[in-house]
């Protein structure tokens, strides 16, 4: 890989993180159950460029929350779990990058979409597992009277994670067949 391509990949990772952050400003109509719209560009970038640039992009997306003051702060360890580890794990979708590109080169669009679904499931499951754990440890006192911290965190983060997965799967089912070359770039 030449020096120039490395710079190009870094710029793409930063651009897609910025796009994900911009989408994080969409107002939430259904309060805490809201899906994470930024997961769409982040997972697209991870599938396009692989785990290294995907994880970098996820990390930048998480760090942008600090720069723009969009942190829900309860404690130092809570913030590290929810804004570093959780957002970083979105890049795990990139582990499926080689597989999706193999299928796309062979024009197997349905297989490519299924691989995209698997990548999304992995990334979003791990991210919301972090939010679930943080929810049990740090957000339990916000549970309605009589509701356990585990059940409260599971319903809140399970719903948000499920809606995020649904949103990303619908997006990939449209984007991969429409723009296969974007997921399998020549350089």
Q: Does 131 bind ligand 218 (CB under 6 A)?
A: yes
Q: Binding residue for ligand 218 (CB under 6 A) from 7, 25, 30, 72? A: 72
Taking Cα atoms as reference points, which of 23, 7, 141 lies closest to residue 74? 141
Q: Binding residue for ligand 218 (CB under 6 A) from 46, 113, 156, 172? A: 156
Tokens of 108: 């197997």
Q: Does 61 bind ligand 218 (CB under 6 A)?
A: no
Taking Cα atoms as reference points, which of 118, 115, 153, 152 lies closest to residue 133? 153
Q: Binding residue for ligand 218 (CB under 6 A) from 97, 157, 164, 184? A: 157
| Closer of 7 and 28 to ligand 218 (Cβ) | 28
Least spacing, CB of residue 106 vs ligand 218, in Å: 37
Q: Does 82 bind ligand 218 (CB under 6 A)?
A: yes
Q: Which of residues 22-51 bind ligand 218 (CB under 6 A)?
A: 32
Least spacing, CB of residue 135 vs ligand 218, in Å: 3
| Closer of 50 and 58 to ligand 218 (Cβ) | 58
Reduce the secondary structure of 90-130 to three states and give it as a string. Answer: HHHHHHHHHHHHHHHHCCCHHHHHHHHHHHHHHHHHHHHHH
Q: d(Cα 36, Cα 47) in Å, to the nearest integer? A: 18
The residue nearest ligand 218 at its CB is 135
Tracing tokens 């999706």 back to the chain, one arrives at: 100
Helices and strands, number each (H, E), in the chain: 9, 0
Q: Binding residue for ligand 218 (CB under 6 A) from 53, 96, 152, 183? A: 152
Q: d(Cα 54, Cα 88) in Å, to the nearest integer? A: 8
Binding site for ligand 218 (CB under 6 A): 32, 72, 82, 131, 134-135, 139, 152-153, 156-157, 160
């Amino acid at each position: 890989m030449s020096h120039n391509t490395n710079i190009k990949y870094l710029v793409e990772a930063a651009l897609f993180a910025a796009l994900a952050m911009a989408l994080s400003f969409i107002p939430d109509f259904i309060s805490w159950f809201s899906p994470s719209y930024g997961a769409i560009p982040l997972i697209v970038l991870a599938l396009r460029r692989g785990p290294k640039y995907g994880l970098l992009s996820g990390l930048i997306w998480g760090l942008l929350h600090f720069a723009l003051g969009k942190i829900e702060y309860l404690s130092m360890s809570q913030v590290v779990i929810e804004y570093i580890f959780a957002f970083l794990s979105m890049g795990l979708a990139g582990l499926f990058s080689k597989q999706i590109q193999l299928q796309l080169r062979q024009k197997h669009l349905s297989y490519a979409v299924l691989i995209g679904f698997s990548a999304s499931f992995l990334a979003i499951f791990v991210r919301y597992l972090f939010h679930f754990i943080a929810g049990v440890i740090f957000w339990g006192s916000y549970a309605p009277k009589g509701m356990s911290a585990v059940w409260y965190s599971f319903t809140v983060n399970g719903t948000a994670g499920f809606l995020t997965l649904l949103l990303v799967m619908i997006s990939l089912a449209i984007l991969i067949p429409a723009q296969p070359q974007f997921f399998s770039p020549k350089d």
